[in-house]
């Protein structure tokens, strides 16, 4: 029912957007300040791997989890395979549409001592999120405070966001969403789910559930510039290492660890739904660098046209002058 209402309001929204665009009022463009985006600091040296955050995430977000209709409509061609997690809601050792946060563990040696480091993993909330910017339908969105989320009423489940995300965070559930109302056999495949940083709690002035519940205060949240300062100070004080400050051009999730992230990355289990800890270059930055070419293009085009015009008119004149005079 709510799905239908939202779809109707989607169409209305589309019409409203046309009106806004037609009136030419740039109400929406804003060079939001990256420094002020909401960022979390995770001091993973403090994490004891109790899993309270994972439980709290499910507790407050269960209402957002998919309730797919079964059986799923048959999809063509055969390559389009359903992804169904609805019977595996209790899986907590990886990311799924029903589990947006999980604890990775790494057995490492710190100062000659064998230790297990536990790392809460979920969406990094990139400052320029490719999952949002490259979604072909605008189903994924970034809020003014930097949070990225996928709108379950608009997502068609093509999973492009998962492919362009350097950590392959979003997870698909088939049998739910807008694609069922369009051409379920030929396009779309459900809805993508991931941590939405408890955007609704934040709007009410509360903290994300995982931050609030942690008995060790592993996480704290604040404006990005302040969190970066704190992370650097913490890393200096503990001889630690930072992850997320520059990864993918910068994220709003900053980890500080007592061991280098290359070491952690080798020690954790990675794969589907289990993100790595490698260093990541700026995904959007590479294409954005090409924009200079776009800016020069019209000038080059005009210059070439003017050049051609004068060349031909000079030739014309010369031809006229060469004509025998009477």
Partner 1 sequence: MSRKNNVRYLYLLTVFFITLSGFGQMPIFKRYYIADIPGLGWLAKFYITHYIHYICAALLIGFSAYIITGYIMAGRKNSKLTVTGYLRGTLIIGLIATGILLVIRNFEGYIFSHNLIIFLDLSHLALVMLFLFTSLYCLIFKKKWTTK
Q: Which residues bind ligand SF4 (CB under 6 A)?
A: 47-53, 56-57, 61, 100-101, 103, 118, 120, 122-126, 129-131, 148, 165, 167, 169-170, 194-198, 208-210, 214, 216, 218
Choice between 154 and 235, CB closer to partner 1: 154
Pairing label, strands 140-142, 148-150: antiparallel
Residues in the chain: 326
Q: Return d(Cα 287, Cα 291) in angstroms, integer.
A: 7
Q: Which of residues 272-311 bind partner 1 (CB under 8 A)?
A: 283-284, 286-288, 290-291, 293-294, 296-302, 304-306, 308-309
Min dist. Cβ of residue 144 to partner 1 (A): 6
Q: Return d(Cα 179, Cα 177) in angstroms, integer.
A: 6
Q: Return d(Cα 280, Cα 126) in angstroms, integer.
A: 11
Choice between 3 and 51, CB closer to ligand SF4: 51
Choice between 272 and 309, CB closer to partner 1: 309
Choice between 55 and 225, CB closer to partner 1: 225
- According to CB under 8 A, which one of 3, 6, 7, 34 is a site residue for partner 1? 34
Min dist. Cβ of residue 252 to ligand SF4 (A): 8
Selection from ligand SF4, partner 1, none that 163 binds (CB < 5 to 8 A by kind) is: partner 1
Min dist. Cβ of residue 236 to ligand SF4 (A): 22
Q: What is the DSSP letter of 323?
A: S
Q: Return d(Cα 106, Cα 90) in angstroms, integer.
A: 22
Helix or strand or coil: residue 142? strand
From the list 69, 106, 61, the residue with the least C-alpha distance to 210 is 61
Q: Return d(Cα 157, Cα 172) in angstroms, integer.
A: 7
Q: Which of residues 181-220 bind partner 1 (CB under 8 A)?
A: 187
Helix or strand or coil: residue 290? coil
- The residues with which 253 forms a beta bridge, in sequence order, are 40
CA 73 to chain centre: 28
Selection from ligand SF4, partner 1, none that 214 binds (CB < 5 to 8 A by kind) is: ligand SF4
Selection from ligand SF4, partner 1, none that 109 binds (CB < 5 to 8 A by kind) is: none
Binding residues for partner 1, total number by CB under 8 A:
61
From the list 321, 208, 242, 286, the residue with the least C-alpha distance to 44 is 242
Rg (CA), the chain: 26
What is the separation, in whole angstroms, between the first and last Cα of the chain? 90
Which residues bind to partner 1, rule: CB under 8 A?
A: 10, 13-14, 16-18, 20-21, 27-34, 77, 79-80, 127-128, 133-134, 136-138, 141-144, 151, 154, 158-160, 163-164, 187, 249-250, 283-284, 286-288, 290-291, 293-294, 296-302, 304-306, 308-309
């Amino acid at each position: 029912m709510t799905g239908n209402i939202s779809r109707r309001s989607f169409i209305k929204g589309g019409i409203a957007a046309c009106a806004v665009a037609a009136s030419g009022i740039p109400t929406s463009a804003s060079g939001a300040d990256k420094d002020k985006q909401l960022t979390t600091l995770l001091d993973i040296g403090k994490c004891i791997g109790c899993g309270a955050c994972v439980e709290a995430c499910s507790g407050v977000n269960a209402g957002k989890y998919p309730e797919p209709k079964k059986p799923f409509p048959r999809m063509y061609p055969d390559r389009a395979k359903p992804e169904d997690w609805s019977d595996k809601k209790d899986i907590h050792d990886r990311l799924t549409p029903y589990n947006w946060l999980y604890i990775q563990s790494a057995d490492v040696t710190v100062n000659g001592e064998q230790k297990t480091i536990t790392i809460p993993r979920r969406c990094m909330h990139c400052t320029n999120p490719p999952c949002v910017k490259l979604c072909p339908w605008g189903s994924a969105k970034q809020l003014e405070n930097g949070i990225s989320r996928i709108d379950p009423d608009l997502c068609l489940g093509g999973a492009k966001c998962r492919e362009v995300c350097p950590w392959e965070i979003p997870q698909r559930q088939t049998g739910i969403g807008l694609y069922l109302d369009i051409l379920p056999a030929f396009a779309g495949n459900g809805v993508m789910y991931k941590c939405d940083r408890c955007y609704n709690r934040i709007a009410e002035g509360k903290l994300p559930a995982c931050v609030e519940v942690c008995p060790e205060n592993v996480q704290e949240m604040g404006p990005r510039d302040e969190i970066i300062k704190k992370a650097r100070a913490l890393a200096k004080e503990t001889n630690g290492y930072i992850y997320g400050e520059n990864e993918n051009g910068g994220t709003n999730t900053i980890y500080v660890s007592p061991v280098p992230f290359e070491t952690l990355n080798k020690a954790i289990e990675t794969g589907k739904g289990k993100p790595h800890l490698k260093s990541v270059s700026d995904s959007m930055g590479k294409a954005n660098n090409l924009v200079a070419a776009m800016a020069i293009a019209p000038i080059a085009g005009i210059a070439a046209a003017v050049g051609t015009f004068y060349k031909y008119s000079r030739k014309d004149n010369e031809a006229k002058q060469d004509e025998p005079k009477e």
